[in-house]
Amino acid sequence: MSRPRRIDLELVAQARAVVVKTTDLKQLRAAQSILLPALAHTTLEQTAALLGVGRASVPRLQRRFREGLQPTRVSRQWGGRRRAMMTMEEEKAFLAPWAEQARHAGVLVVSPVRAALAEKLGRKKVAASVVYRLLARHGWRKVAPDTRHPKSDPAAQAEWKKNFRKRWLPC
């Protein structure tokens, strides 16, 4: 059995006032999301169908209307790094010694960075993809080796292919 709906009469009165005077569609929908369940006794699904939104949007509209009445409260925005293990400043501080090492050596090996990150986070293991995403977030990139040796001579290679013995002789 679902819990009984609690209707705040003061909120309904404010929603009625907003419906009468508003010219903004978002405010109108938010006020209607309060009025329809209160006055017409509609469910969330029925309210969503009448407003032309999804079922999950109805409580959001109701919350937006309630928060609109209290301007001191700041609403949380969608997006962002919700599952971040460290802040961007902590990540920069963590990568600073590795940046110095990479400048001097010219190469950064990921396995010690991975082990240090696991230790800092207090975990047994950290996936390599976590380290690669961390480095990519801070502008690091993987430098691939050249496809050919810089001292190779294409003419000498072609000559060798022409004069190559077809059969190997045992030693």
Residue-wise pLDDT for 4-49, tens only, equals 677 789 999 999 999 999 998 889 999 999 999 999 989 999 999 9
**What is the residue-averaged pLDDT of the chain?**
86
Q: Are residues 59 and 95 in the same domain?
A: no
Sort residue 17 into left (φ over 0), alpha (ψ -120 to 50) or beta.
alpha
Q: Which long-range contacts (CB under 8 A, 24 or more apart) does 93-101 make?
A: 94/120, 95/134, 95/135, 95/138, 95/140
Q: Cα(112)–Cα(118) distance, rounded to whole angstroms?
A: 10
94 with 122, same domain: the answer is yes
Residues 6+ apart with CB under 8 A from 120: 86, 94
Q: Which of 31-35, 72-76, 128-132, 164-168 has the lowest mean pLDDT?
A: 72-76
Tokens of 47: 């309210």
Which H or E run includes 27? helix 25-39
* Least reliable range by pLDDT among 28-32, 102-106, 116-120, 137-141: 102-106
Residue 57 lies in a domain: yes
What angle, rounded to 10 degrees, do the helices at 9-21 and 57-69 form?
90
Q: 131: domain range?
A: 88-137
Domain membership of residue 44 (yes or no) is yes
Number of C-beta neighbours around residue 87 at 10 A:
10
Q: Is 142 contained in some domain?
A: no
